[in-house]
Structures are given as structure tokens and as C-alpha cells.
Amino acid sequence: MKGQALRPDRLLDPSWRPVARELYESVGDPPLVCPHGHVDPSPLADLGATLGTPAELFIIPDHHVYRMHYRQGIAMEDLGTTRRCADVSAWTRARTYQWPLTGRVGFVPS
Amino acid sequence: MNEFGNNPNFRLVTFALDESAHSWGLAPMAGYYPALLLGAPWWFFDSPLGMRRYLDSVMETAGLYNTAGFNDDTRAFASIPACHDVWCRITCDWLAGTVVTGVVDEENARDMARQFAYGFARRAYGLKQDPVGRA
């Protein structure tokens, strides 16, 4: 499946896009203020930590991603969300469902 | 709130699982009690449409400066900056709508955009030091 590039004006309404873009650019690239979160803090504190496998980075910690995979019949165990160890073949299989799974704007119940 | 809602040493940030509770209940209270700041409706808040609904349903009544900014609430490390970027885009888009309809002028909108992006959260949680910038 071909990757989809991020559009620079994503989420900005065409009716007032120049104004929205000017505001967005005026904010710049500010530091992130994160007073609350659920990310495991130990890798943040460990200078030797790595990002892990793709599954550990993108699937296991993201409940929105793995619930939609589960909905398509991929077992939690195969995704590694219960035993904290991902099955690479399940991840490869999951990619074939990329848009139906994670295109979260408007769920289509089936 | 009757007892502490006007106490300058007290601050309450409210969160609710029911997003409708914000518009009918919490938004007017945040627009009255100096101690109260309106937080995010979890679950609905970490999606573009949820953010738009939040802005449309509470800002007019609560007053934007009586809200507590953004919480990413994410479980996934890689999505932290993406969540903040989506919030920044949605708030700037929402503010642009108020500019083109003549409700807010450009200068005020720019300040509101910065506050949404990080100012409100720093204030709500008492983060006095400048955050560490990106390299």
C-alpha cells in the first residue's frame, strides 16, 4: 500500500485557510507542555533506552490502533498487547488493513 | 464551590467523561468561579472532531481564558507531538473562523492561539519555568 504524505494544510478549513495558516505559523514550534500522560516514564529517564520494535512503538501502547486491529480479527496476543511482545507476522498482516483500521474520522460499522 | 470557588489559594481543573456535561454544567461554572478552570473531555478530546465539538460547545459560555489548555492523554510516545500538533491546528482553524466572521481580531487571535498551544496548560498546572525547547 502506498504511503500517504501529510499535507501542510491538513485540518484547516478551505473557507478560511489563509487566516488559519497564518495563526498556525504564528504559534511556531513551541515546547510541548504535557501535564498528564500515560507513556511509560522509564524510557524517558533512561539515556540508553531505544524506541523498540515498530510494534512496540506504534501498536502496543496505542489503544486506538490495537482495538481497531482487534475488531478486524487480529488477536490481542498476536499484536503483543497482552504479552508485551509483538508477532511480526501479525503486524505485517495488520498493515494491509491500514486505512480501514485507522482512518478514524467517521467510523463505518460493519 | 460555594465554599472555595472564590478562594485565591484554590484551583480546580474539571474533567468529565460525558462531553455534554461541559456545555450545560461546567462551562457556565468556569465562567463564574475564579478558582475553576475547564479541562478536557477525555476520550472525545483526542480526535479532531472531538476537539471541534469541545471548542464549539464550551468556549462561548466558559470563556476561552477560563480553560486549562491541552492534555495529550496518549499512551504512545511517538504520538505526543502529533497530538499537540493536531490540537494546535484545530484551535487555529477554530480561531480563524472567529476572525473571518469579525468576532475576534487578528492580534487577539494570535494571543489566543499561543495560549491554546501552551500558555493555558502552563498556567493551569503552575509551571513557572520555561519549558525545555527543542534542539
Number of domains in chain A: 1
At residue A79, the pLDDT reads 73
* ipTM value: 0.91
Kindly report, residue by residue over A38-82, the tens digit of the pLDDT.
888 888 888 898 888 888 888 888 888 888 888 888 887 777 665
Q: What is the mean pLDDT of residues B3-8?
A: 95
> Of A97, A27, A84, whose CA–CA distance to A52 is shortest?
A84
| A28 assigned to some structural domain | no
Chain A residues within 8 A of B46 when measuring between CB atoms: 64
| A71 assigned to some structural domain | yes
| A19 assigned to some structural domain | no
Which residue(s) pair with B13 in the sheet? Answer: B37
> Of B55, B60, B70, B53, whose CA–CA distance to B122 is shortest?
B70
| A109 assigned to some structural domain | no
Domain that holds residue A62: 53-104
CB contact under 8 A, B74 and A37: yes
Distance CA A86, CA A103 (A): 22
Give the predicted TM-score (pTM) of the model. 0.84
Kindly report, residue by residue over A4-28, the tens digit of the pLDDT.
788 999 999 999 999 999 999 999 9
Pairing of strands B36-38, B12-14: parallel
Q: In chain A, which residue's Cα lies nearest the Cα of B100?
A: A16
| A76 assigned to some structural domain | yes
> Of B38, B88, B98, whose CA–CA distance to B67 is shortest?
B38
At residue A82, the pLDDT reads 56
Which residue(s) pair with B14 in the sheet? Answer: B38
Kindly list the domain boundaries of chain B, sorted by start residue.
12-124
Strands (E), chain B: 12-14, 36-38
